[in-house]
A = this chain, B = another copy of it.
Amino acid sequence: MEPTAVLLIDCPDRPGLVARVATLLYQRGANILHADQHQDHELGLFFMRVEWALADVGAKGSGHPAGQQSGVGDLGREQGPGATVFGSPAGRKMPGPATQSPQALHFDLAAFERDFALLAEELEMHWTLTSSARRPRVALFCSQYLHCMADLLERWHMGEFRCDIPLIVSNHRAVEKLAAFYGVALEHVPVTPATRAEAEARQLELLAAYGIDVVVLARYMQILSADFVARYPSAIINVHHSFLPAFVGARPYHAAHARGVKLIGATSHYVTEVLDDGPIIEQDVARISHRDQVEDLVARGRDLERIVLSRAVRWHLDRRILRYGNKTVVFD
């Protein structure tokens, strides 16, 4: 996979946005691989995702050694989050050296970034510029149910996710063998109602120590505090085992069985401070019948949970999701 850059934009809609962004990329010599736009006509908002090649501009096989690209990624990884986020209240500045590293590639990402920042300011854009050469760092949280955890680790192992997974956090020890098998550090952080604050402090410490960009709650059965959530805006992904907004809260399969629904669902979403209310990323359903008891729903639901959570993680890592208000744009 050759390195690419992804630019995500949201801003007030106005004429000429596509023209100005595309022209700047063209002038800088970008070889666009994918471009997609969306307008929310009601709210007057414009969304755009552009992905272009960082290497291989001009001639194919231009002698750019893979080792060097990977070196850039390793370097960037030490620098902290590789995404430069501007204009958003939650923006985390990319440190200086990271903007230099892409210069080793054929496309001068740093120079583009400087020019684009001016354009973005003029057009009141919120934007994120990311290089795939720097792999995001993901932490997986779980409790005692491990089907999503096992699925995510296996997909990661197979190369479905472009990320590093250096850390698993769990309030149970059930995940020990899986963590060891996939070579991921496991930090056991017990949580009780009395020790919640303390546990979260420890978790945040771990996330910082491991340089984590994204937290995935793989059936983690504890509720995160608003403070915790605010530290990782649009960067904590959860799976809820119902078709939201139906069956919010605990034991949704029991509730679905009691209501006599004919389809069950699962939902992946960004976590916000309101339980099961964050922006929905993906949903899927499966048909059930009167023959299915609660335990059948639980078993059928596991497949749905695996699917919707793994899609959300992949799309997030591929920078295909733009959050706005309580919704998401998922570019395909």
Contact = CB atoms under 8 A, between A and B. Distances in A.
Interface stretch (A15-23, A185-193, A207-215): A15-23
Interface in A292-332: 293, 299, 303, 307, 326-330, 332
A95 interface: no
Contact of A36 (B36, B42, B260): B36
Interface string A278-292: 011111110101110
A225 interface: no
A33 interface: yes
Q: How large is the interface on A (under 10, 10 to 19, 20 to 34, 35 or more residues)?
A: 35 or more
Contacts of A282: 262
B263 A244 contact: no
A114 interface: no
A35 B293 CA distance: 16
Contact of A33 (B16, B20, B39, B265): B39
Given A36-B37, A37-B35, A259-B245, A289 B330 contact: yes
B330 A42 contact: no
Nearest to A281: B262
Contacts of A290: 38, 40, 327-330
A291 B15 contact: no
A246 interface: yes
A210 to B, nearest CB: 24
A18 B32 contact: yes
Nearest to A263: B283
Nearest to A310: B303
A261 interface: yes
B260 A327 contact: yes
A316 to B, nearest CB: 15
Contacts of A291: 38, 332
A206 interface: no
A29 interface: yes
A235 to B, nearest CB: 18
Contact of A19 (B25, B33, B146, B307): B25
A150 B182 CA distance: 13
A154 B153 CA distance: 12
A93 interface: no
Contacts of A265: 243, 263
26 contacts: A15-B30, A16-B22, A19-B19, A23-B23, A36-B36, A38-B290, A38-B291, A41-B293, A147-B154, A147-B158, A154-B154, A177-B181, A244-B259, A244-B261, A245-B261, A246-B246, A260-B280, A262-B280, A262-B283, A263-B265, A289-B330, A290-B327, A290-B330, A291-B332, A303-B307, A332-B332
Interface of A: 15-16, 18-20, 22-23, 25-26, 29-42, 146-147, 150-151, 154, 158, 160, 177, 181, 243-247, 259-263, 265, 279-285, 287, 289-291, 293, 299, 303, 307, 326-330, 332
